[in-house]
Structure 1
Amino acid sequence: MNFFWLLRMRRWVQHPPSTQRVILVLAVIAICLALFAVERWIGWPEALSVQPTGPRVRPVY
């Protein structure tokens, strides 16, 4: 473990984050878990995927 991580942990112990910040972090984690669950069990829509799966059409100039 890096020495700077130990200093950061000491600072967090001496000055803990506010309740609002803890709620914000937990909400972000919950949203990420919800997106993961939707992608895992329902599937990701092809319209939002990065890789095109349809036929490739060459542009006409």
Structure 2
Amino acid sequence: MDRLLFSMWRIWRNPPSRMKLIVMLAALALAIGLVLVERRVGWPDWMRVERTPRPRLPHL
């Protein structure tokens, strides 16, 4: 919680430039868009990652 308050205080005292703000908002919009696509539509099968079990090493 202290880190968040410190970050908010730092942004309040030293606001980012307009270009940096646009880039940050675009990244946030992209992340939210990806989450919405994943929740509503889902990913195609070719984009899914299948977990493979870790190989067990023999005990020596």
Gaps of 5+ in 1: 53-61
Structure 1: distance between partners of 2:36 and 2:6? 35
Q: Which residue of 1 aligns with 2:32?
A: 33
Greater CA drift, 11-20 or 24-33 = 11-20
Q: Judging changes above 3 Å, is the alpha-carbon distance between structure 1 residues 49 and 20 closer, same or farther for their aligned structure 2 residues?
A: same
Give the aligned partner of residue 50 of structure 1: 49
Give the counterpart letter for 1:30 in structure 2: A
Instruction: After superposing the two structures, state which structure 1 stretch, 8-17 or 39-48, moved more.
Output: 8-17
Give the structure-2-normalised TM-score: 0.63
* Count of paired positions: 51
Compute the displacement of 1:8 (Å): 4.3
User: Identity rate of aligned residues, in percent?
Assistant: 37
Q: What is the CA deviation profile of residues 10-51 of structure 1, one whole-angstrom value per residue up to 9, with x for unaligned ones? A: 432332110111111110010011111111111111101111
CA distance in 2 between partners of 1:23 and 1:29 (Å):
10
Secondary structure in 2 aligned to 1:44? coil
